[in-house]
Amino acid sequence: MIVVFKPDATPEQVEQILTKAAELGLKTNVSEGVERTIVGLIGPEDVLQVTPLAAFEGVEKVIPVLAPYRLVSREYQPEDSVVDINDHIRIGGSRLHVIAGPCSVEGEERLLEVAAKVKAAGATLLRGGAFKPRTSPYDFQGLGEEGLKILQKAGKEYQLATVSEVMDPRDVELMCGYVDVLQVGARNMQNFSLLKELGKVDKPVLLKRGISATIKEWLMSAEYILANGNFRVIFCERGIRTFETATRNTLDINAVSVVKQLSHLPVLVDPSHATGRWGLVAPAARASIAAGCDGLMIEVHQNPKAALSDGVQSLVPENFETLMRELQPLAHAVQREL
């Protein structure tokens, strides 16, 4: 790390840091400029967490050299991570994977019908919320365990891996009994108790980006899961809140390549929540593949007008099928299969 002193820092104040560094077992490199002194500290940066050097008199700032999200970072692992799901789906490999299905599980018959259609169109994973994080407590909250049973049945019937959101650390065990991938929703990206719990399970975690989270905060949330022992984490960019109101969220397309540069973990994009309107899902999906994402999550409903949540952004199965066909040449153009 690098300690930058204020222009008026005294030699005694610099000496205090050098003494502290020696106590912490760090080597030092002092550079006395015309304007100010800078000290490079050489050794493990962990000591920064327990010794706030920025609190010492005369210090203007302390700049860490290593990323704070170390297990998640490319420095820790230069090659791409491939997250295995059920031993046959490899997220982050050469093939792009698409997770499709309704926002919420609404009933067995409806889900089985959608599952058959998204499978035929080329999706490899089936989504469906059973515990729904709704803005209003009066809106449909999901079918709970009953919804998980239906999702599991549909997944088995059509050989689709299943993805569903877990909102509460107390539900983690229950969810592990039914679904293949546990989704952390945008509203829970910084639910640290939940993240710690997910670090202990033997299931992949789909970590959506928080509504107003910076990329660094998002990476730090993933670090919680890895630091607790679970390395099977998949990022999902789902749009962020900006001043723009024409769309539900603003798809941060930069985030795909930024996260892929900073981290070895795979990155998916959810163009449904990122745009909030079904007519904008296809262009956002195309842009995401061009930007280098490892797959997509798309909401599909056979009757969006009657959907219990997110009908406005849901594709009908026919449009989903057309989109999947259109995405093929695009995937090939970026040396991926779909």
Out of ligand PEP, Mn ion, none, what residue 248 binds, judged by CB under 5 to 8 A for its kind, is none
Residue 98 CB, nearest distance to Mn ion (Å)?
Answer: 16
Tell me the DSSP string of 222-245. Answer: HHHHHHTT---EEEEE--B--S--
CB closer to ligand PEP out of 37 and 164: 164
CB closer to ligand PEP out of 181 and 201: 181
> Distance between CA 104 and CA 296 in Å, rounded?
17
Structure tokens at 162: 């299943």
End-to-end alpha-carbon separation of the chain, Å? 43
Residues 228-287 close enough to bind Mn ion by CB under 5 A: none
CB closer to Mn ion out of 124 and 309: 309
Out of Mn ion, ligand PEP, none, what residue 185 binds, judged by CB under 5 to 8 A for its kind, is ligand PEP
CB closer to ligand PEP out of 211 and 258: 211
Strands 161-165 and 181-184: parallel
Q: What's the DSSP call for residue 123? A: -
CB closer to Mn ion out of 232 and 273: 273
Side-by-side strand order, sheet with 27-32: 27-32, 37-42, 2-5, 59-63
Tell me the per-residue interface mask from 59 to 98 with Mn ion, x by CB under 5 A, - otherwise: ----------------------------------------
> Distance between CA 258 and CA 250 in Å, rounded?
16
Residue 17 CB, nearest distance to ligand PEP (Å)?
Answer: 44
CB closer to Mn ion out of 92 and 128: 128
Q: Are 310 and 271 in contact (CB under 8 A)?
A: no
SS3 state of residue 183 = strand
Backbone angles phi, psi at 36, to 5 degrees: -155, 165
Out of Mn ion, ligand PEP, none, what residue 206 binds, judged by CB under 5 to 8 A for its kind, is none
Residue 105 CB, nearest distance to ligand PEP (Å)?
Answer: 11
Question: Which residues partner with 165 through β-bridges?
Answer: 183
- What's the Cα-to-Cα distance from 166 to each of 71, 173, 176, 327, rounded to whole Å? 23, 10, 10, 30
By CB under 5 A, name the one of 310, 317, 319, 327 that touches Mn ion: 310
Q: What's the DSSP call for residue 170? A: G
The verdict on 103 binding Mn ion (CB under 5 A) reads yes
Contact footprint for ligand PEP (CB under 6 A) = 103, 129, 133, 185-187, 208, 238, 273
Q: Segment near Mn ion (CB under 5 A), from 59-67, 199-207, 305-313, 322-330? A: 305-313
Q: Which residues bind Mn ion (CB under 5 A)?
A: 103, 310
